[in-house]
Amino acid sequence: MSEESKPEVPEVKKPEVKKVVKQSLEDAELEWVQLNQQLSRLKKNDDSNENVETPKEKLLRKCIENPFVPIGTVATAGFLFVGLTKFVRNDTHGSQKMMRGRIAAQGFTILAIAFGFGLSIREKLKKEMAAKAKTE
C-alpha cells in the first residue's frame, strides 16, 4: 500500500491533562479561599451581636472571680519594694525578713491561682453535666 491509498485521518489533539488538572486545582483553591472568607465574615457578624469584653472589663471580672490573686500580687510587690529599700539602706536583717515575706506571698499567690483554676474547671464540668442531663 502506498501512502496515497491510505485514507486521511484527521489529526486529533490530545487534551493537555496537566493544564486541565492545574486549572481545576486553582479553581478549588479559589473556592476554598472564598468559603473561608464567608465563614470569617459570618463569625465577625455573630461576634458583633454579642457584648465584646474589653481587657479592662476582663481584668475586673477575673479579680472579682478570684480576689486572692490580686491580693497576693500586691503583697508580693509590697514585700519586694520594702525589701529592696531596706537592702539599699544596708539593713540586712530587715531585708532578709522582707525577702522571706516575698517568698511567702508568692507561694500564696500561686496557691490562689491553682485554687481559682480548680474552681473554674469544677464550674465548667457542672455546666457540661447539666447540659448533658437536659439533652437526655
pLDDT by residue (tens digit) across 110-126?
Answer: 999 999 999 889 988 99
Question: For residue 52, what are the CA distances in angstroms to 43, 45, 62, 116?
Answer: 13, 12, 15, 23
* Residue 7 is assigned to a structural domain of this protein: no
For the segment 55-81, the average pLDDT, to the nearest whole number, is 92
Average pLDDT, the chain: 82
Q: Are residues 66 and 117 in the same domain?
A: yes
Q: Is the pTM of this model over 0.75?
A: no
Domain containing residue 97: 55-135
pLDDT value of residue 2: 54
- Show the CA angle centred on residue 19, arms to residues 15 and 23, nearest 5°: 125
Give one DSSP letter per residue of 55-123, joined into a string: HHHHHHHHHHH-THHHHHHHHHHHHHHHHHHHHHTT-HHHHHHHHHHHHHHHHHHHHHHHHHHHHHHHH
With cut-offs at 50, 70 and 90, classify the pLDDT of residue 40: confident
Q: Are residues 85 and 104 in the same domain?
A: yes
Number of domains in the chain: 2
Q: Are residues 115 and 63 in the same domain?
A: yes
* Residue 78 is assigned to a structural domain of this protein: yes
pLDDT digits (tens, 9 = 90+) for 77-99: 999 999 999 999 999 999 999 99
pLDDT value of residue 53: 84
Distance (Å, whole) CA 58 – CA 13: 67
Q: Are residues 67 and 31 in the same domain?
A: no
| Dihedral sign from CA coordinates of 29, 32, 38, 43 | negative
Q: Are residues 96 and 67 in the same domain?
A: yes
* Residue 100 is assigned to a structural domain of this protein: yes
